Each structure stands twice: as C-alpha cells, then as structure tokens.
Structure 1
Amino acid sequence: MQEQDGRSEKAKMLAGELYDPLDHELVVGRERARDLCQALNATREAEQDERRRILRELFGSGGDTVWMQPPFFCDYGSNIELGERVFFNFNCVVLDVCPVRIGSFTFFGPGVQIYTPLHPMNAELRRQQEFGKPVEIGSDVWVGGGALIMPGVRIGSRTVIGAGSVVTRSIPDGVLAAGNPCRVIREITEQAGPQPGTVRS
C-alpha cells in the first residue's frame, strides 16, 4: 500500500520507521515465509535437494550454501542476507522486519533468537504500528545455544557469544562475550588448531 509520501509500508519497515504490520503486502510476505518454513521443517534428512530448494527461495541471499538443521522460523526470510556456509542448529528464530546480515562461516547453536522488531512505548500507538532496527553479525562468529540478539546490535567478526547470553549492545571483533546483559570478558588470543596441553575428544 502506498502512503501519501509515495512510500510503501514495506519501505518504511525496512528503513526502521513506524509502519503498519497489517498492511496487505506485509501480511502476504509473512504468509510466504511461514509456508516455506513449514515446508522446510517437514523435510526429512534424505530430502536434501528439496531442503536446498526451499532455502534458496526463503532467504534474500546465502540459501545456496547455508547449513540448516530444522526447525527454523522467520518473519520474512527475504530480509536475511547470509554469507557463505552459515550454520543454524535446531530451533533458531530470526524476526527480520529489518535487514539481518550475517557473515560467512558464522555458527548458531540451538535455540538462538535474533530480533529486529521494536514496539512504541505509547500503548495507543503500539496497537497500530511498530518499527525495527537491523542486526549485523560478522564472519566466523560463534553464538552459543539459547542466546538472544536484540534489535540494532552489531557483533564483530571472530567473536564468540556465550550460551544463554542476552546481547543488548554491540560487541567488537575478536572477543569472548557472555552474560545478561552480554559483556566482553576478554580478547580471543588462541591460535588456530589444538592448543598445547589440550586433549582432543
């Protein structure tokens, strides 16, 4: 639907401005994503070709290489841009009313949730409109199971987010961060490969 300024509700949504979530174009977009997620989540492990077809159709980019362990859920899918070989474990959720950009070789543990939607504090306005802030996650990030990533957050490349963390503010490159709220614990200095004195199991 076009408003008086000529912009659709979808355009305002993607720009992080107040928009009407019941706009017909947006409802159709969410229905598309829900149908695709339902089809994805019904696939068996042997149906890898069908799973890949659905992933290509669901995501804005990266569906050709994403490593997905269903079930997975999202709002639109088309607003999710993935680098090469992103991995989602069981039960991940991405609410992508604003763009979600994820770099290559980033891994998500089970139950990770990424949120971009926000709602006005004013109750009357909240009944009719919402808005969002984009999320950006760098390359080679590892997000532990059950972590929550809030709207507007940026997580730097090569960073590790501890399981169960609630990430309410941006986290720099190359650090270990954890907690509620998530805070930087230390820089990551480990070199690639097994460390001296460690046991491989």
Structure 2
Amino acid sequence: MNDIFRKDLSGEMVSPNEAGYGDLIADIFATMKTAAEMNTGYRTPKEVHEYMERILGKKLDASTTVLPPLYIDYGIPVHIGKGCFIQQCCTIFGRGGITIGNEVFIGPKVNLITINHDPDPANRSATYGRPIVIEDKVWIGINSTILPGIKIGYGAIVGAGSVVTKNVPALAIVAGNPARVIKKIEISEKEMLTDMSR
C-alpha cells in the first residue's frame, strides 16, 4: 500500500495536487472495473466470491453472501466477517477503512461512506478518511447512510432511510435523519456476553 492510501487510513488530508494521487485514482478505477464486471449479468455465488476476493484483496468467508450490484471505490481496507448478508445496490466508499463484524445484515441501497471533503472552499477537492466500524449482528435497513467515523454497536438496528451521523450504542434501534435512538433491544448482559463470545 503506497503512502497516499496510508494517509487516507490515518485520517490525513489527501490533495489532488500531491504525489501519488494519480495512483489513488488508478486504483479506484481498477476496483470499479472489477465491480462493474461482477455487476454485469448473472453471477453464481461462487463467482461473486471470486470477484469480491479480487476487490478486497483477501478471502471472503464462504458463509457471507453479497448480492450484486455492489458499487465500491476501494476494497483493500474493507474487512467483512462471517455470516454476513449484503443486499444489492449498496455503495461502499472504503478508502478510510471499514470493519464489518460477523452476522451483519445490510439492506439494499445502503451507503457506507468513509471519505469527506475539506470544508474550506479553497481546498474542497482535498479529502480525508474516517473509519466505519460495524459490530457483530447489526442490521442496517434499506437506503440508510452511515457517515465517516461512525461505530455501530453490537446488535443495533438502523431503521430504513436513516442517516447515521453519531455512534450507535449496542442494542439500540435508531432511525431518522439524523438518526436518533428510538428504542433499546432488551436482552440480558449475560445473553449478550455469551453471544459475543461465540
């Protein structure tokens, strides 16, 4: 991984004027090309896994299902756990790093966005990354957007159409724009700890 991608992962500002930016764009287009090939026509689950492993640069557990089309800019910093189900038409901006735990359900048209622009209009073309962490057994509803730097705690639910701008506690149900806690999922701490240790 070259320096410009390390800067993305460390949260530093990345400018189109700096050395290596061309490599960044080239890698993004290469990833998009692979994703476009995966998204064109019917692909068997085995073929989808093969494409995803090329995009991610690592193995994808056989227990995880990804339904194309998937739109992704950069897969190397994206880590997907076991038993996940990622529905079709999701968009992943992975440059800032994304960790998806085990048994996470992601609905159609969900956006995971790790990149933001400099608020200074004179430098608006510069970007910086913030990682997203999605813990085990989270369910993200259709057409929701998770913004840069967000952590979604164990077992939480993000309601359909939500825009998540703040961290979500474990076992919370959040909804709205901006998303806010509307309910807690009631399980005992013992149940949660037992489940998380599996």
Aligned to 1:195: none
1:188 aligns with 2:185: yes
Structure-1-length-normalised TM-score: 0.85
Aligned to 1:172: 169
Greater fraction of residues in helix: 2
Aligned to 2:66: 68
RMSD: 2.0
Tell me if structure 1 keeps the 8 A contact 2:45–2:65: no
1:79 aligns with 2:74: no
Aligned to 2:112: 114
Tell me if structure 2 keeps the 8 A contact 1:9–1:20: no
CA distance in 2, matches of 1:151, 1:53: 28
Q: Which amino acid aligns with 1:170?
A: N
Secondary structure of the structure 2 residue equivalent to 1:34: helix
Aligned to 1:44: 42
Aligned to 2:24: 26
Secondary structure of the structure 1 residue equivalent to 2:6: helix
Name which of 110, 114, 124 aligns with 1:126. Answer: 124
The Cα shift of 1:29 comes to 1.4
Tell me if structure 1 keeps the 8 A contact 2:156–2:172: yes
Q: Which runs of 5+ in 2 are unaligned?
A: 189-198
The Cα shift of 1:57 comes to 1.4
Q: Percent identity?
A: 30
The Cα shift of 1:16 comes to 0.8
Name which of 6, 11, 19 aligns with 1:11. Answer: 6
**Cα 1:106–1:81, aligned 2, differ >3 Å: closer, same or farther?**
same
CA distance in 2, matches of 1:77, 1:104: 18
Tell me if structure 1 keeps the 8 A contact 2:159–2:174: yes
**Cα 1:160–1:61, aligned 2, differ >3 Å: closer, same or farther?**
farther
CA distance in 2, matches of 1:168, 1:62: 30
Q: Which runs of 5+ in 1 are unaligned?
A: 2-6, 192-201
CA distance in 2, matches of 1:100, 1:36: 19
Secondary structure of the structure 2 residue equivalent to 1:93: strand
Q: Which amino acid aligns with 2:132?
A: V
1:146 aligns with 2:143: yes
The Cα shift of 1:172 comes to 0.6
1:55 aligns with 2:52: yes
Tell me if structure 1 keeps the 8 A contact 2:61–2:81: no
The Cα shift of 1:67 comes to 0.5
CA distance in 2, matches of 1:44, 1:53: 14
Which stretch shows the higher mean deviation, 78-87 or 140-149? 78-87
The Cα shift of 1:190 comes to 6.2
CA distance in 2, matches of 1:69, 1:88: 6
Aligned to 1:99: 97
**Cα 1:55–1:126, aligned 2, differ >3 Å: closer, same or farther?**
same
| Alignment size in residue pairs | 184
Secondary structure of the structure 2 residue equivalent to 1:73: strand
Which stretch shows the higher mean deviation, 19-28 or 82-91? 19-28
Secondary structure of the structure 2 residue equivalent to 1:104: coil
The Cα shift of 1:64 comes to 3.3
CA distance in 2, matches of 1:21, 1:103: 33
